[in-house]
């Protein structure tokens, strides 16, 4: 199973509010031959790391593609740019953020050919794990073997994170 994380906390010029922009991102992936087989509800929550930015809208999608992880990452970055993402500073507010979370059972450490798989911080993020549990209940992290439910239960509660 190939998993994509989606997030945004700024309106885009073309699509408006973050939830509509992220829905457009899924449409754009489909138009580029990346089939979306399932997606979570949209969730909203505070920025991570904490800051004065607007709250984020996040979700997770399962996709199917014959692209390699490198080529899929290139498409994700191109879709972000199409939706107005500008990479100026780390952790800045954004119109779209598309992350390759997992590519089947592939485990690839950082420092080599990007992307690192699975995503190195996905197991620490409730805004990834809660939507992921909707898309793929029982999914197991390729590195640790822990289920998404166990990973989510091990995090401190984030009482402000909620489905839209």
Radius of gyration (Cα) for the chain, nearest Å?
A: 15
- Domain limits of the chain? 2-163
Helices (H), 32-125: 69-82
Number of helical H runs and strand E runs in the chain? 4, 6
**Tokens linked to 71:** 């080529």
Q: How many CB atoms lie within 10 A of CB 98?
A: 26
Tell me the pairing of strands 2-8 and 56-64.
antiparallel
Q: How far apart are CA 109 and CA 80, in angstroms?
A: 24
C-alpha torsion angle, residues 64, 80, 30, 37 (rounded to 10): 40
Picking from 124, 82, 79, 118, the residue whose alpha carbon sits closest to that of residue 101 is 118
Give the SS3 label for residue 70: helix
**pLDDT band at residue 158 under the 50/70/90 scheme:** confident
pTM of the model: 0.95
Using pLDDT thresholds of 50, 70 and 90, give the confidence band for residue 115.
very high
Lowest mean pLDDT among 45-49, 136-140, 150-154, 155-159: 155-159
Mean pLDDT of 47-68: 96
What pLDDT, on the 0 to 100 scale, is given for residue 76? 97
Region 2-163: CATH code? 3.30.70.560
Structure-block tokens of residue 138 = 């029982």
């Amino acid at each position: 199973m190939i998993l994509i994380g989606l997030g945004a906390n700024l309106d885009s010029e073309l699509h408006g509010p973050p939830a509509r922009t992220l829905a457009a991102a899924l449409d754009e992936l489909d138009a580029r031959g990346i089939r979306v087989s399932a997606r979570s509800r949209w969730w909203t929550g505070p920025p991570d790391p904490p800051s004065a930015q607007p709250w984020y809208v996040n979700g997770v999608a399962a996709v199917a593609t014959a692209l390699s992880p490198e080529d899929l990452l290139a498409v994700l970055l191109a879709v972000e740019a199409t939706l107005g993402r500008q990479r100026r500073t780390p952790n800045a507010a954004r119109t779209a953020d598309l992350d390759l979370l997992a590519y089947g059972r592939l485990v690839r450490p950082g420092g080599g050919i990007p992307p690192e798989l699975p995503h190195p911080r996905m197991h620490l993020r409730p805004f990834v794990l809660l939507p992921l549990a909707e898309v793929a209940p029982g999914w197991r992290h390729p590195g640790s073997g822990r289920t998404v439910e166990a990973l989510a239960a091990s995090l401190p509660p984030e009482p402000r994170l909620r489905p839209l």
